[in-house]
Amino acid sequence: MSNRYYLGSVAIKEAALEGPFLPDANVWLFLYGPVQDHRSWQAKAYSAFFADALKRGAAFYLPQIIATEFVNRSLTLLAETSGWNRKTDGKLHAHRDYPFWAKDACDSLHAFVSDVSRVADRFDEIDLEALYDEVENGGRLDFNDHLIANMCRSLGMTLITHDADFSGMDLPIITANKKLT
């Protein structure tokens, strides 16, 4: 698709740096995740892109759905690296260490939420019947991904994601994942 930009390429078209941008939770995890390797090539690629785009005055947006995905994934990663096992240890929020993991996850969210603009998800404007059809016939995307794609389309945003599930979507995407280009 012509509206895909790979961060590993020599040059990204200038237009790709203008925004507005909607970074997916997986990108925020590369940049601010509590247990991610911030020295990985993916983290470096996304970090460099953010720096370039911010220099140009680009806007980054954070809807509620991505904030919740980030916090929930961070909680799970923190718990799993601490030895918690979903099958044997029961519900995550019932674990004795949950308050510590929740604080770390929320601190990670707090680290970047001031650098973005929060945006309403416009769920009240979505044609739910069309969304249901899209989800039922949409292949590999989960419900949240369909909501994110819908939001990008309705608000004219470029999605920044590492999630290969978006490969079949007709959206402008910036990625460090070759499977998306």
Neighbours of 66 (CB within 10 A): 24
pLDDT per position as a tens digit, 69-98:
999 999 999 988 888 888 788 888 888 888
Give me the number of domains the chain comprises: 1
CATH code for position 156: 3.40.50.1010
Per-residue pLDDT at 169:
83
Give which of 162, 164, 165, 160 is closest to 3, Cα–Cα.
160
Per-residue pLDDT at 21:
94
Exposure on the CB side of residue 126, measured as CA atoms within 13 A: 20
Partners of 173 in the beta sheet?
A: 4, 159
Please provide the average confidence, as pLDDT, over all residues in the chain.
Answer: 86
Per-residue pLDDT at 34:
85
Partners of 60 in the beta sheet?
A: 21
Q: How far apart are CA 12 and CA 76, in angstroms?
A: 34
Q: Are the beta carbons of 64 and 121 closer than 8 angstroms?
A: yes
pLDDT more than 90, % of the chain: 34
Tokens of 43: 């983290």
Report H helices in 6-63: 25-32, 41-55
Checking if the pLDDT of 52 tops 90, the result is: no
- Its domain, for residue 25, covers 4-180
127 or 172: which leads in pLDDT: 172
**Mean pLDDT along residues 130-145:** 79
**Mean pLDDT along residues 4-29:** 78
